[in-house]
Structure 1
Amino acid sequence: MGNRMDTKTPPQIGPLLAQHRRAHKLTLEQLSTQSGVSKSMLSQIERGEANPSFAVLWSLTTALNIKLSELVEGAAAQRQDDQIEVVAESQLPKIVSTDAHCTLKILSPPRLAGSTEWYEMEIEPGGALDSAAHAQGTMEHVTAWTDGLEISSGDATITLKSGETARYLADRPHCIRNLGREKARGLMVMLYKP
């Protein structure tokens, strides 16, 4: 992945430490007493004005009854949330049908699999993406970028024009077929029922 996150900057644990302290309903003074870390040092850490040593972190996490990894990894995760992840096209996984007429490029991040997934879809002329029923309540949304995509779900069948979106139940056998003479393209989004 072409992640452009800066790994040289240490995670800011101060705000996360303050969240844990408040969740335990402790004042700065109470946490200072329990941890042995001075109130002024604790205040500076929470405001991001001081970088605590390992010994200080150990004392604070022990007093809060949390793992050191929770604090460090949680702060690192917060830092990642402020970043923009860039994935090169060559790094996007592809699913190709056995007859090579249909290609799905997986655009969604792996952590969303089984929840919300989206794909760039290409179907050769005459090709069809036949699918068995997905989990109960699953919906598919297909936006056609070209004319000629036919969607079937259960007993219903429609043909999309470029720019149109079809939304349908995918918890039954369904099919996306290219009726045109050119390669059909579109965006498919799958939403699984929680």
Structure 2
Amino acid sequence: MEVDDSKQIILQVGAALKKFRKEKNMSLEELAELTGVSKLTLGNIERGETNPTIAIIWRISKGLSLPFMALFKSEDPVCLYRAGEGLRFTSDHKNWIVEPIFKNASYDIEMYRAYLQPNSSYYPEGHHMNSTEIATVMTGAIEIHVNGEVYLLNQYDSISFRADSPHSYTNHTDSEAVLHISLKYGM
């Protein structure tokens, strides 16, 4: 995760995680078993001592049955999100960058701007059960694999699929690809 005000965001995520865990009457050990994230890492996140990756946050949100952005909810009545500014998450290999668009949106739908680096692939964690992912290529071309099928999307093409099924994104070009992604939760 890369942010201008990263320490504040890290503390916010930690406080939100602790709040949701306590609401579910769970110990750190129980949450660790449920999410596959170590107790030590979860404790460090709650105390704001570590900067979690996108994969870790997905595991936590799934384990708590919360939308991804619930840990970042904003109370501002008007939110402006400029490309390349503010909250950004990177994959472990730094080839996939995601910027939330409207982190205070309802818990049913989340919107993201995603950047896939040239000649690279991204294999996301499986998302929440019964969730739907809608991806639109804004620049470039992307190959999307869903349940063993391959779909080639060019600029402005869109695809919708069950996000809890295996899927991946591949950019075979020499230019960065930009996507808009919506995630609809079926909770």
TM-score by length of 2: 0.54
Residue type of the partner of 1:95? F
User: Which runs of structure 2 are paired with 1:102-117 in the superposition (5 Å)?
Assistant: 102-110=96-104, 112-113=106-107, 115-117=108-110
Please name the residue that 2:172 is paired with: 179
Deviation at 1:108, TM superposition (A): 2.3
Please name the residue that 2:146 is paired with: 153
Find 1:136's aligned residue among 125, 129, 143: 129
Residue type of the partner of 2:96? C
Whether 2:113 is the aligned partner of 1:120: answer yes
Question: Matches of 1:125 and 1:191 in 2, distance apart?
Answer: 27
1:155-194: per-residue Cα shift (whole Å, max 9, x none)? 2210101011011111112101111111111101111113
- Report the aligned-residue RMSD: 2.3
Change over 3 Å in CA distance of 1:147–1:168 after alignment to 2: same
Question: Matches of 2:81 and 2:151 in 1, distance apart?
Answer: 34
Please name the residue that 1:45 is paired with: none
| CA contact 2:140–2:176 (8 Å) conserved in 1 | no
Question: Matches of 1:87 and 1:164 in 2, distance apart?
Answer: 23
Deviation at 1:87, TM superposition (A): 4.5
Question: Matches of 1:136 and 1:183 in 2, distance apart?
Answer: 30
Question: Matches of 1:175 and 1:98 in 2, distance apart?
Answer: 15
Q: Please, which runs of 5 or more residues in structure 2 have no aligned partner?
A: 1-74
| CA contact 1:132–1:172 (8 Å) conserved in 2 | no
Whether 2:172 is the aligned partner of 1:192: answer no
1:85-115: per-residue Cα shift (whole Å, max 9, x none)? 43565763111111111100111224535x2
Change over 3 Å in CA distance of 1:174–1:90 after alignment to 2: closer
Question: Matches of 1:147 and 1:179 in 2, distance apart?
Answer: 10
Please name the residue that 2:95 is paired with: 101
User: Which of the two has higher C-alpha Rg?
Assistant: 1
1:24-64: per-residue Cα shift (whole Å, max 9, x none)? xxxxxxxxxxxxxxxxxxxxxxxxxxxxxxxxxxxxxxxxx
Change over 3 Å in CA distance of 1:163–1:90 after alignment to 2: closer
Instruction: Give the count of matched residue pairs.
Output: 113
Find 1:86's aligned residue among 71, 80, 90: 80
| CA contact 1:92–1:107 (8 Å) conserved in 2 | no
Q: Kindly, what percent of the aligned residue pairs are identical? A: 17
Q: Please, which runs of 5 or more residues in structure 1 have no aligned partner?
A: 1-79
